[in-house]
A = this chain, B = another copy of it.
Amino acid sequence: MEKQFHPNISVDCVIFGFDFKKLNVILVERNVHDPVNGAKQISDLTLTGNHVYFDEKLEDAAKRILFNLTGLSGIYLEQFFTTGDPERLKSVKDQVWLQKIGKDPRERVVSVCYFSLLNCDEITLKMGNRKIGWYSVKEAKNLAFDHGTILGNAIKALQTKLLYEPIGFEMLPEKFTLTQLQKLYEVVFDVEFDKRNFRKKVSKMNYLVPLDEKQKGVSHKPARYYTFSRELYEKNSSAMFNFSI
């Protein structure tokens, strides 16, 4: 027996990535062409999401979406918001689209939203026949459905979480430089920090471990690599992570 999707329950994933320059999010193209003259009826972007199977946990559905997209498991995942008002899929465009992909456009769908964190460079994305890719969050405008609202909430949730917990490292490679770490905080909060003060601050975080290894092949003084030790972090749980800005 084929697994069945629940018609009323879906999961959307806001997948953030950092490319050392800006904060990005994975979006998927949504295109509908007029069957007669071939003109574009809809051409915009959606978050990644899917309905849940009848016997599937919400978080497992989010993991499934992430795995199908990236081939990775164990990705950082956090539920942050749920949208489910009766009219959220009722715009003309959205109704046309739902028809096209074979969903009943009359159904009310509650979508439980998760954000997750990736290092942009470490993955290749794939998804059937729709184009998928990284987009700067600053340029991600006019999304389909209520996905603009979801993305806005996701960014706020990411900021709040980043103040209290050391999750920024999820968007960096295993080894990273302090400048990269600083840039990460700068793009998430849309501020700039003074280099010396930033380093003074993170130098108190003893779970940020300097390595005996430096950048190679850069045309300037190579920076030292650091790594995040979750073990050390959890040991000194008294030394709460607090990244007030």
Q: Which residues of A contact B (CB under 8 A)?
A: 6, 8-9, 54-58, 79, 81-86, 108, 110, 112, 160, 164, 242, 244
Contacts and interface: CB of A to CB of B under 8 A. Distances in A.
A9 B244 contact: no
Oligomeric state, in number of copies? 2
B58 A82 contact: yes
Given A9-B108, A58-B85, 4 more contacts: A54-B108, A58-B83, A110-B110, A160-B160
20 contacts: A6-B108, A8-B8, A8-B9, A8-B110, A9-B108, A54-B86, A56-B86, A57-B85, A57-B86, A58-B82, A58-B84, A58-B110, A79-B81, A82-B82, A82-B112, A110-B110, A110-B112, A160-B160, A160-B164, A244-B244
A176 to B, nearest CB: 27
* Top 9 A-B residue pairs of the complex, sorted by shortest distance between their CB atoms: A82-B82, A57-B85, A8-B8, A82-B112, A58-B84, A55-B86, A9-B110, A110-B110, A58-B85
Most B-side CB within 10 Å, residue of A79, A84, A85? A84
A101 B106 CA distance: 28
A53 to B, nearest CB: 9
A110 B86 CA distance: 15
A88 to B, nearest CB: 9
A54 to B, nearest CB: 7
A9 B82 CA distance: 12
A51 to B, nearest CB: 12
